[in-house]
Amino acid sequence: MTTLEHVLDLAGLPASSIPAEARQTARFSLYDWMVCGLAGASEPLAVLLRKVIGAEGGHPVASTFGGPAMPARAAALVNGATSHALDYDDTHFAHVGHPSVGIYPAALAAAEAVDASVADLADAFLLGAEASVRIGMQLGAVHYNRGFHQTATAGAFGATVAAGRLCGLARALGKMLGAG
């Protein structure tokens, strides 16, 4: 089985297979991420991003920390940078990255766009984080020591899994990529 097939299987894991303890951890992570985002909302980076990206316009469907709703893509960018601005966010030491700031912004934007529940949001984050950590661990310390930040590299896969799950795209994407 290829890595892509493993990730797609993870993305499509039935909700009934997710342990209650893992769901509770995902909700704690959501709370932690939101607190970090609210704390970073007045940072110069956050203010500038809201101003520049907000000027682009578009259909406002997703919330931002400290500002108006924006298009999902824009809100994910603003919220990711804002929640990481103070660098108090979570850290997963096995893959040397910050799962919440890489995954929750995309997951929240997708959840708001499709009107998903908080439970669906937390499940999507949890599976996205698992994919991100697994990929990050495969990339290893060498990847990090060469100057790559797992939050961005492995986190992009986790964000894709989470947003794709919320939008119902996990297996459709795999078929497009030839992975069944």
The residues spanned by each domain of the chain are 3-16+39-176
Residue 158 identity: G
The pLDDT assigned to 176 comes to 60
Domain 3-16+39-176 -> CATH class: mainly alpha
Q: Which residue has the higher pLDDT, 175 or 161?
A: 161
CA distance 113 to 55: 20
The pLDDT assigned to 180 comes to 53
Give 53-94 pLDDT, tens digit per residue: 999 999 999 999 999 999 999 999 999 999 999 988 888 888
Structure-token pair, residue 25: 């951890």
Residue 1: which pLDDT band, with cuts at 50, 70 and 90?
A: confident
Task: For the chain, give the percent of residues with pLDDT over 90.
Answer: 73
The pLDDT assigned to 121 comes to 97
Q: Which residues, in sequence order, are bridge partners of residue 62?
A: 70
* CA 139, 141, 147, 148 torsion-angle sign: positive
Residue 178: which pLDDT band, with cuts at 50, 70 and 90?
A: low
The pLDDT assigned to 105 comes to 97
Q: Please, what's the b/e burial string for 2-19 (b: 16 or more CB within 10 A of its CB; e: otherwise)?
A: eeeeebbebbeeeeeebe
Give 94-127 pLDDT, tens digit per residue: 888 899 999 999 999 999 999 999 999 999 999 9
* Cβ atoms 106, 124 nearer than 8 A: no
CA distance 112 to 115: 5
